[in-house]
Amino acid sequence: MTAPVLILVESQLAENIGSAARAMANCGLTELRLVRPDVEWPSERAAAVSSGALPLIDVRIFDTTAAALADLNYVLATTARARDMVKPVLTPRAGATEIRRRDALGQKCGLLFGPERTGLFNEDLTLADALLTVPLNPAFTSLNLAQAVLLIGYEWWTQGLDTPPVQARYGDSQPATKAELINLFEQMEKKLDSAGFFAASHMRPTMVQNIRNTLQRAEMTEQEVRTFHGIVTALVKE
């Protein structure tokens, strides 16, 4: 799996290049191409802002967008707003899927970003295969370069993961078995009987059911079951 190349056209602030590099490193992107950067390069300011990311990134400078894209097969151009261009517009998620699909076919892909103030020039957009727009709150769309890189990179990165959506963590213990849990229920109910907790005996089955359901939902570990045995014992009046 090869990460897409990031191409920044006429970046105006070293700080933005540094924070874009940081977002790249967060998301496993390693190739950065700067077209006519409007900042001195290399830049100490960019390095400082990158929080150690810049040394991990391969940075190259180009005179033209065409040269920066020359070896690529598929390029997505990011735009903040609709442009009068006949070109498909992809969400970051769909774009990441398309890049991964093409990478699997051996195609080299790129993500093209324009100058902070103006966005990409039309002649650069024309060189892209599709447009990519982050669908954020239309009432507040101000998104800086690094944030756009982060969101698009995040979509690319997470599509390569097999992180389970929900992971259970049990610390040093194991989830309790049903036998351990039933034993806790029975011990507890026995002590509650002795303590006269179930005063209205016809309500006992419902109350037992509710207490068991409550503790069942807690999905206790073996250790936690032992702790609750201790709690019950401690509370029993001698």
Please report how close the Cβ of residue 142 comes to its own copies at its closest, in angstroms. 5
Distance CA 223, CA 66 (A): 63
Total residues found in the chain within this entry:
238
Residue with token string 């991964």: 100
How many alpha carbons lie under 13 Å from residue 145 in its C-beta half-sphere? 28
Choose between 87 and 108: whose C-beta lies nearer to its own copies.
87
| 125-147 CB burial, b ≥16 within 10 A, e <16 | bebbbebbbbeeeeeeeeeebbe
Structure tokens at 182: 């039933």
Please report how close the Cβ of residue 52 comes to its own copies at its closest, in angstroms. 7
C-beta separation of 27 from 153 below 8 A: yes
Choose between 7 and 23: whose C-beta lies nearer to its own copies.
23
Choose between 143 and 208: whose C-beta lies nearer to its own copies.
143
Among 9, 20, 35, 53, which residue sits at the site for its own copies (rule: CB under 8 A)? 53
Of the ranges 31-39, 117-125, 158-166, 200-208, which one interacts with its own copies (CB under 8 A)?
A: 158-166
Binding of residue 169 to its own copies (CB under 8 A): yes
How many alpha carbons lie under 13 Å from residue 211 in its C-beta half-sphere? 17
Choose between 71 and 162: whose C-beta lies nearer to its own copies.
162
DSSP 8-70: EES---HHHHHHHHHHHHHTT--EEEEES-SS-SS-HHHHHHTTT-GGGSEEEEES-HHHHHT
Binding of residue 168 to its own copies (CB under 8 A): yes
Binding of residue 47 to its own copies (CB under 8 A): no
Please report how close the Cβ of residue 94 comes to its own copies at its closest, in angstroms. 3
Among 161, 179, 199, 234, which residue sits at the site for its own copies (rule: CB under 8 A)? 161
Of the ranges 66-74, 90-98, 195-203, 205-213, which one interacts with its own copies (CB under 8 A)?
A: 90-98
Query: In angstroms, what CA-CA distances link 231 with 164, 220, 221?
Result: 34, 14, 15
Stretch 181-220: interaction string toward its own copies, x if CB under 8 A = ----------------------------------------
Nearest to 136 by CA among 77, 87, 75, 92: 92
Please report how close the Cβ of residue 24 comes to its own copies at its closest, in angstroms. 9
Binding of residue 230 to its own copies (CB under 8 A): no
| Residue ranges in contact with its own copies by CB under 8 A | 22-23, 25-28, 51-53, 56, 82, 84-91, 93-94, 97, 130-131, 134-137, 139-143, 147, 150-151, 154, 157-158, 161, 163-173, 221, 224
